[in-house]
Structure 1
Amino acid sequence: MAVEIDSPPVSVTAAAEARRNQLIGYGLAALGAVLFSSKAISAKLIFEHGIDVETLMALRMLLSLPIYLLIGAISVRERIATGRGLPSAGLLWKACLIGLVGYWLSSYLDFWGLQTISAQFERLILFTYPVFVVIFGALFFGNRFEKRAFLAFGVAYFGLAIIFLETTARLGSGIIFGAALVFAAAMSFAFYQLVAKTLIGAIGPRLFTCVAMTSASVTTLAFFAATRPLSNLMVDGTVFLHALYLAIGATVAPSFLMTAALNRISAQSNATIGIISPVITLLFAVSFLGEPIGWTDIVGTLLVIGGIGWFTLGGKKA
């Protein structure tokens, strides 16, 4: 007599698989946030060896470019194999141009500013880019400006003001220029977010990232060649290892981890996990750079995270 073995209902199996994908998504998002938070730390460690911004960016892009080219080539082959075809030349040129804004200009301003302000303060300023997304969206893209943004952004910028005033009193007015540069980086990244959305949908997130990063890499290397001697790239082993981590661990890896996470969890969940980024940067800065931390830093950080986090999460659907 045959013994029948009951199998779990399809709905139970599907629910378990969905839960597994969700947990993987949370893990990918968290790892991406941690790695991205280490970017400023790596840059600071490289600056300690007397490396300038142009050389740092050239090393970063030179080491990461082959990976983007390889992944881009794989994406192109997959599109052809599945009969989807390639994006139009117009779309690719637009991706190249927006890559210059989102990855070259924004990074250049950010690293330039990092030379004069702390990694903690830099991360908090960049974290306020949703402010500029809202402002630019309302001014140039016809988006609606939500009233609650006034309260959320007011709280966040009050927190930044607390840190800014304390840091200025301690280090002098020299940090104003650095802070202004990072604010400009946040603005350029916000503009990139607004313009890139349609292109990502048309080209695909993986291929778009590769095209945009390749464009930014070529521009970075050309700018370096025009302004610095090629001998600057002959760095010692310590700097090379820091640059290698900056290129792969803090640039390539988090860019694809975030994309993979969004394939498994909602934008709201991804944004929730991303809020840990300033906290991780603060912990890294204290642990690896020896940056001081006081009550003003803690209070200011909590206000920035609270204001931006409340606005970001309150406006997204799961």
Structure 2
Amino acid sequence: MKSSNLLGYAMALIGASFFSLKAVLVKLAYLPSEGANVVLAQNELEPITLLALRMGFSVPAYILIGFWAWRKLADKPSFLPVVQAFALGILGYYLCALLDFTGLLYITAQLERILLFTYPIFVVIIGTMFFGGKITRWSVLAILLAYAGIGVIFAGGEIATGANVMLGSVLIIFTAFLFAMFQLFAKGLINQMGSWVFTCTAMTGAAVSILLHFTISASMGEGVAASLDLPPRVIFIGAAIAFFSTIIPSFLVNIAIDKIGSQTTAVLAMIGPITTIIAAIILLGEPFGWVDALGTAITISGIALYTFFERRSQPIRAIPLKT
């Protein structure tokens, strides 16, 4: 095996694992702070504030790397694809992230990752309905298997409990649906612009939207300064989300796709839910019983089946998750 392939596998695994830590870090930020000047109880930290921290720390890197990647393009895209990528970033990295961070107020990090992990199913369904894709009987089987696993979790699992678990679950499923739309629209732009320039442009579009949303929201309340008067640990977690669950993995996955292809990278991304489960148990003390394990295994098997037959039939494909 070539050393470049080994490097690609390593980057894909690390990138997927880092992305999957995002939900755990968000849940940590929502926990009450003890002994701080500003005490945050559950739900008192607004999702848009945490998103603003994430993008405030990460967007300078995306602007700089985007500028570097743009200069290296031999065939630079016209103005229109750049505007479209900027607009798609608002859908994929602003609206989806806002729904995701909001959903995490109500459900466990493990359930969020499992529900979000089903987004390729929406890629198949929407692609078949509107983008000329074809759905096979194996795709149908994969869909049924994946959601059977989720059904098992809701029927008797410990990670799908709580007064607002249905609200949170609906928000995350809708996030998966919108992210599938984002991927289907993004495919052509990625081919035109390259994944590096596209990612940086889309992230910049999301950052502008998030920071504008935060500024308007804070100005209507106690003001921007008061909204950012946060415990140091929350600011630290916001920075960790930016660097370890946004910037670093987004480029690791891009490099992995370049070295080993999007399909192999997508297969290796299946480590994501396992990473979330381990981190959520250790850092958050979330429960994880045998019913949860069974449901998770069934869902991952469904997505694995989809990925296997996708590689053989090459329908409209899903690229690795980057919310």
SS at match of 2:2: helix
Q: Percent identity?
A: 38
Match of 2:124 among 108, 131, 134: 134
Say yes or no: does 1:99 pair with 2:103: no
The whole-number CA distance in structure 2 between the counterparts of 1:310 and 1:71 is: 36
**CA distance in 1 between partners of 2:263 and 2:125 (Å):** 21
The answer on whether the counterparts of 2:106 and 2:168 sit within 8 Å (CA) in structure 1 is yes
Judging by fraction of residues, say which structure has more helix: 1
Distance 1:169 1:115, change over 3 A: closer
In the aligned structure 2, how far is the partner of 1:52 from the partner of 1:295? 33
Aligned to 1:243: 238
CA shift digits 1:71-119 (9 cap, x unpaired): 011122223xxxx253211111110111111111111111110110000
Which has the higher Rg, Structure 1 or Structure 2? Answer: 1
Deviation at 1:316, TM superposition (A): 1.0
Q: 1:170 Cα shift?
A: 7.4
1:172 Cα deviation after fit: 4.3
**Equivalent pairs, count:** 297
Unpaired runs of 5+ in structure 1?
Answer: 1-17
Q: Aligned pair 1:22/2:5, yes or no? A: yes
Alignment RMSD (CA, Å): 1.7
- For residues 101 and 10 of structure 2, the distance between their equivalents in structure 1, rounded to whole angstroms, comes to 28
**Is the 2:153–2:159 Cα contact (8 Å) retained in structure 1?**
no
Where in structure 1 do 4 or more consecutive aligned residues deviate above 3 Å? Answer: 167-173
How does 1:14-53 map onto structure 2 within 5 Å? 19-49=2-32, 50=40, 51-53=45-47
Distance 1:57 1:269 in 2: 30
In structure 2, the residue matched to 1:230 is 224
Instruction: Identify unmatched segments of 5+ residues in structure 2.
Output: 33-39, 315-323
The correspondence of residues 139-178 of structure 1 with structure 2, limited to 5 A, is 139-166=129-156, 171-178=161-168
Matches within 5 A, 1:1-318: 19-49=2-32, 50=40, 51-79=45-73, 84-166=74-156, 171-228=161-218, 229-231=223-225, 232-316=227-311
Which amino acid in the other structure matches residue 305 of structure 1? I
1:192-224 Cα offsets, whole Å, 9 max, x none, are: 111100000101110110000000000000011
Match of 1:14 in 2: none
Q: Distance in 2 between matches of 1:155 and 1:67?
A: 40
Q: Deviations over 1:267-304 (max 9, x none)?
A: 33212211111111011100110000101110010000
1:115 and 1:78 mapped to 2: Cα distance? 41
Write the letter of the residue equivalent to 2:3: R
Residue identity in the other structure for 1:28: M
TM-score (norm 2): 0.88
Structure 2 Cα separation of the partners of residues 70 and 211 of structure 1: 11
